[in-house]
Amino acid sequence: MPQLLEHIDAIARQLKRDVLYLAFVRAERPYYEDFKTLPSRKRILQWLDDESIPWRECGPYASETVTRSYAGEVFINVPFDDRDAQYRRVQEFLEYPDGSMRFDDVKFYVVPLEDAMKNAHHDEPGFWERWADNF
């Protein structure tokens, strides 16, 4: 069954704040490998569930010039704030103290609301339908 995913920048605009998300890179695995079988992704999602940290699948930053299939991206619903205990737990799980990633095939991103607002016109009623008609 088809699933409609929101782009990470649209989520930032809805929440009116910076948002966190994970992307899974295909460094040394075949392109056709299903992201759902990726050990690092399974481990991270299980950890988030175990820690009661809310997450959901999302699309990447929206583009009017590039279309991509879903590659396993995940929105983590925790504020990007060093004072927030949940954020610190997520950061400590995903990153070493020097800021490098604990998982070679995972990228941990923040999408600043300021950047997400550059795509605010995407929220206009019918935008994506008109875009698709002209694609």
> For 88, phi and psi rounded to 5 degrees?
-60, -40
* Residue 27 pLDDT greater than 70, yes or no: no
What are the residue boundaries of the structural domains of the chain, listed by start? 8-133
pTM of the model: 0.89
21: pLDDT confidence band, cut at 50, 70 and 90? Answer: very high
**Each residue of 36-55: pLDDT tens digit?**
888 999 999 999 999 999 99
Topology (CATH) of 8-133: Alpha-Beta Plaits (3.30.70)
The contacts of residue 18 (CB under 8 Å, 6+ apart) are: 12, 79, 80, 110, 111, 112, 113
Region of 65 on the Ramachandran plot (φ > 0 left; ψ -120 to 50 alpha; else beta): alpha
pLDDT at residue number 29? 58
Mean pLDDT score across all residues of the chain = 91
Q: Which of 100, 101, 104, 93 is CA-nearest to residue 44?
A: 93
Q: What SS3 class is residue 49? A: helix
Predicted local confidence at residue 134, as pLDDT: 80
Please tell me the predicted confidence (pLDDT) of residue 31.
55
Residue 18 pLDDT > 80? yes
